[in-house]
């Protein structure tokens, strides 16, 4: 089961969709930068591109590290580490660029739009209004 966070470059809004077990299997083995059909997440006619993600322990995925597992990499910036001083590097534990079973969140952006607008397809459930006393 994944949470897919879909970014819309046109509006700057993002939408969160939970992907259940049978359809989440289609994303296993995909890499950062790969595209997939938006019909998996309720956006028929759309095409989405994987831009990153996080595993079950909170470690971010890095596009430059191959494989589905964890790596202890010497980082000077980018996902997983933000240096405080110029030239500072640190060894941090990060996840590779392949979507595996331990990934919990996948970040994606829309690269090809469908006929219907995104807001119409991914409506958030309307909250019940509380009566004012």
Q: What is the pLDDT of residues 10-58, one digit of tens each?
A: 999 999 999 888 888 889 999 999 999 998 988 999 999 999 999 999 9
* Whether residue 118 has pLDDT greater than 60: yes
Q: What's the rounded Cα separation, in Å, for the pair 106 and 83?
A: 24
- Residue 82 tokens read as 């933000």
- Residue 129 tokens read as 């209004």
Give percent of the chain above pLDDT 90: 65
C-alpha 27: how far from chain center: 11
Maximum separation of any 2 CA atoms in the chain, in Å:
59
How confident is the model over 74-97, as a mean pLDDT?
A: 92
- Residue 18 tokens read as 């939970």
Q: Which sequence spans correspond to the domains of the chain?
A: 2-121
pTM for the structure as a whole: 0.85
Contacts of residue 127, Cβ cutoff 8 Å, sequence gap at least 6: none
CA distances from 82 to 22, 45, 69, 72 (A): 36, 37, 22, 16
How confident is the model over 67-75, as a mean pLDDT?
A: 91
C-alpha 50: how far from chain center: 6
CA distances from 84 to 79, 87, 88, 108 (A): 14, 9, 7, 28
| Contact present, 111 and 49 (Cβ < 8 Å) | yes
Q: What's the rounded Cα separation, in Å, for the pair 93 and 5?
A: 23
The pLDDT, as a whole number, for residue 2 is 85
């Amino acid at each position: 089961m994944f949470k897919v966070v879909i970014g819309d470059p046109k509006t700057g809004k993002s939408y969160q969709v939970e992907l259940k077990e049978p359809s989440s299997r289609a994303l296993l083995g995909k890499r950062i930068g790969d595209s997939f059909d938006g019909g998996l997440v309720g956006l028929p006619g759309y095409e989405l591109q994987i831009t990153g993600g996080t595993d079950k322990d909170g470690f971010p995925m890095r596009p430059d590290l191959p494989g589905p597992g964890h790596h202890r990499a010497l980082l000077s910036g980018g996902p997983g580490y933000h240096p405080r001083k110029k030239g500072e590097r640190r060894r941090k534990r990060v996840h590779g660029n392949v979507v595996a079973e331990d990934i919990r969140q996948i970040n994606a952006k829309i690269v090809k739009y469908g006929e219907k607008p995104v807001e119409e397809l991914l409506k958030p459930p309307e909250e019940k209004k509380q009566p004012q006393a």
